[in-house]
Structure 1
């Protein structure tokens, strides 16, 4: 067999293949605001795909076939690109295509190497420049194609938010949500057509008194958060006040909840199964730790399942998926979890084994109970799989006649385990 030496990449790589698609960011200033590279790419294109508003910004001198995106957009991307294979394709995007723009969908479909991106300043950059806000100190929340309820998770005293609007009615929705969530004193400004000749900023007003009529649909809302002193204070870490939840008594209480989330250790992008959701507090606070955290709450009682959905929306995580059904049967078909919390239903036959089998190596399982029967199951699970058993006991000071004494809550037994290659029965995944 003839041996072949590795080729020198510098000698044999050759010129890089041209990108299949060029994505051009364009602002409200239109064609005249584009740099030379962007204009050249659009003139050279045989097909230009974009939203109707962006396509209308092109001059007649751009002779390419113009194709508006269909709705819904995301599922149409692969087929639309395939229909024009072999042609020079340009895609128009608003502002920076990689900031809540079409650039993400295109790179996911084609791969980063097949997409050339020519960005334009985003509306967020323009807004920070107008407001004098340092960009790194601002949180951006998009409501484009997303429910306004997700804004609630970003509301903290003194926080500066830039909210990307879906349409002309979004500022009014934001004001209503701020009032409902106890942030009526927050200051709002609406910035329209940023970077273009029709740019306009409304005067500052508080959400509690917001009565401005809808303006231009191309807008962004700047919010300086101010909490009503009488409103319930919600912190940024797990352990929200019990009063933050609508519940019927089936609620993992605040101190136990904080300890439980600490052991579950949520990280961005991870998925939690919350089994026996009750009021959904564990799943809600898992998702509040980071916008990319995901959760599925499994609850067999339909009334409680609906309540979980209401709690999730009110506390800013409307993306929480609620499955109504009894585990383990209701777990069939769910995406594999990174962590599992069992807050109810431990005595259901096969539940613990099904959850353990679903976990990949590196996954975590935490189960809480207050009954002796379930505690026996957790003791046996620890014998088989390892992990830690912890007794969580909380007492509150209460009046005792004319004095004060301690009232002990029911102690909670918690089993927590990380699945590793070295765990008993842990190498089967």
Structure 2
């Protein structure tokens, strides 16, 4: 199939700012697709068919797919592959059929204005994501660039930063970069008179944040940007069903997160394992399976507080609740090892090379783990943690219940 679809990025300077190649793709198209702002850049006398993006977007994508074979050009903002329509289209159409010609992205333009190195910046799009995802990048002196969803985003970001203990952070809202109406609005996140609160902000804006924690911000108790496993237990809301910090760190090491891999967290409790799995890399995916309604809410709240979006939460009892879920690469069983059929269901779900980690606390669950180890091999370790506790006016060591951990990689069946 020849390249029938083109995607052309356009900046605020309009058609005058695009390259000769981009212009030729627009001129040779039979059908043009874009937002009303982009289509308005074309001459009013242009006789060609024009399609404006509908809501939901899938309706227009279906129209584009039905035009396969005709010369179609999609007009986009900036770089279509930077949180743009190009990424969406490539989920439906192979690159062999598409020509993409970008203009500078909002991130590139913002870095050029601010003198920031793009490689050193944390970047986010809040177009379809909650503001809370920024929590994963909050640390002293971090620099963050954000694509806004609309004109209300700067105020919402400022409120979030203030609530998170980063109210002293410096914010710059950059509007219509590259155009005649380009404007900056600057201020502190906690500044009540900041212009983004008191004046009309353009829907098309980018937010630059230089993170500065408030003097009284306890970074130890609010550690959302720490990427290592084993966050403090205080970082989680829970009812006692929490894999403690030291055990969690060891367990994450045993699970061995890899970008793009999918984890099943079976009997997820407050979701700490699934959340820290996803925090290890932006492309790590997880499904938390939990039967208790209150704990499922804890999982959702903890994920939001720690900047995790995309964690799928499944209600129900395992193994029945596992039926129909996407095939996992890794499975963690933190409880319920004695439930009939649970191990067999999980083992069958894994592909060859998949990894299973089971933490056993009770004697009965440990006996099950020993049986499975005898059948399938793997590694057994005993985790014992002791913490100091007052004994009168002295300190003594109080041991926690030991954990037997089994780690096994599924081998090819003989």
Distance in structure 1 (CA, Å) of the matches to 2:59 and 2:344:
37
1:347 deviates by: 1.2
Q: What is the DSSP-based 3-state SS (H/G/I as helix, E as strand, rest coil) of the residue aligned with 1:204? A: strand
| Equivalent residue, structure 2, for 1:328 | 319
What do residues 239-282 of structure 1 show as CA deviations (whole Å, max 9, x unaligned)? Answer: 11100100111100001001100110111111110011111000
1:406 deviates by: 1.2
Distance in structure 1 (CA, Å) of the matches to 2:68 and 2:331:
44
- Counterpart of 1:107 (choices 87, 90, 99) is 90
| Equivalent residue, structure 2, for 1:49 | 33
Distance in structure 2 (CA, Å) of the matches to 1:203 and 1:347:
58
- Counterpart of 1:382 (choices 370, 373, 378) is 373
1:157 is aligned to 2:140: yes
Q: 1:250 to 1:358 in 2, by over 3 A?
A: same
What do residues 56-82 of structure 1 show as CA deviations (whole Å, max 9, x unaligned)? Answer: 2223364422111111114641x2123
How many residues are aligned here? 406
Distance in structure 2 (CA, Å) of the matches to 1:67 and 1:53:
12
Q: What is the DSSP-based 3-state SS (H/G/I as helix, E as strand, rest coil) of the residue aligned with 1:179? A: helix
1:364 deviates by: 0.9
Distance in structure 2 (CA, Å) of the matches to 1:37 and 1:310:
48
1:370 deviates by: 1.2
Distance in structure 2 (CA, Å) of the matches to 1:73 and 1:307:
32
1:28 is aligned to 2:26: no
Q: Is the 8 A contact 1:275 1:343 kept in 2?
A: yes
Distance in structure 1 (CA, Å) of the matches to 2:129 and 2:278:
16
1:219 is aligned to 2:201: no
Q: Is the 8 A contact 1:188 1:207 kept in 2?
A: no
Distance in structure 1 (CA, Å) of the matches to 2:16 and 2:43:
10
Q: Is the 8 A contact 2:327 2:349 kept in 1?
A: yes
What do residues 357-411 of structure 1 show as CA deviations (whole Å, max 9, x unaligned)? Answer: 1011121111112110000000111011111111111111222222222111111
| Equivalent residue, structure 2, for 1:7 | none
What do residues 27-58 of structure 1 show as CA deviations (whole Å, max 9, x unaligned)? Answer: 11111111222122212211110112221222
1:244 is aligned to 2:235: yes
TM-score by length of 1: 0.91
Distance in structure 1 (CA, Å) of the matches to 2:314 and 2:378:
28
Distance in structure 2 (CA, Å) of the matches to 1:365 and 1:333:
19
Q: Is the 8 A contact 2:159 2:189 kept in 1?
A: no
| Equivalent residue, structure 2, for 1:399 | 390
Distance in structure 1 (CA, Å) of the matches to 2:59 and 2:338:
42
- Counterpart of 2:52 (choices 57, 62, 68) is 68
- Counterpart of 2:172 (choices 189, 205, 209) is 189
| Equivalent residue, structure 2, for 1:299 | 290
Distance in structure 2 (CA, Å) of the matches to 1:324 and 1:187:
41
1:85 deviates by: 3.5
Unaligned runs of 5+ in 1: 1-16
1:286 deviates by: 0.6
| Equivalent residue, structure 1, for 2:124 | 141
Distance in structure 2 (CA, Å) of the matches to 1:298 and 1:129:
45
What do residues 8-30 of structure 1 show as CA deviations (whole Å, max 9, x unaligned)? Answer: xxxxxxxxx64111111001111
- Compare 84-93 and 56-65 and name the one that shifted more: 56-65
Q: Is the 8 A contact 1:300 1:325 kept in 2?
A: yes
1:177 is aligned to 2:160: yes
Q: What is the DSSP-based 3-state SS (H/G/I as helix, E as strand, rest coil) of the residue aligned with 1:203? A: strand
| Equivalent residue, structure 1, for 2:303 | 312
Q: What is the DSSP-based 3-state SS (H/G/I as helix, E as strand, rest coil) of the residue aligned with 1:202? A: strand
| Equivalent residue, structure 1, for 2:406 | 415
RMSD: 1.6
Q: 1:295 to 1:393 in 2, by over 3 A?
A: same
Distance in structure 2 (CA, Å) of the matches to 1:360 and 1:393:
31
1:208 deviates by: 6.0
TM-score by length of 2: 0.94
Distance in structure 2 (CA, Å) of the matches to 1:140 and 1:336:
30
1:256 is aligned to 2:247: yes
| Equivalent residue, structure 2, for 1:10 | none
Q: Is the 8 A contact 1:43 1:63 kept in 2?
A: no
- Counterpart of 1:127 (choices 100, 110, 124) is 110
Q: Is the 8 A contact 1:18 1:114 kept in 2?
A: yes
Q: Is the 8 A contact 2:8 2:73 kept in 1?
A: yes
What do residues 185-242 of structure 1 show as CA deviations (whole Å, max 9, x unaligned)? Answer: 2221111111111111112323465743251110011111223343324122111110
| Equivalent residue, structure 2, for 1:230 | 217
| Equivalent residue, structure 1, for 2:189 | 206
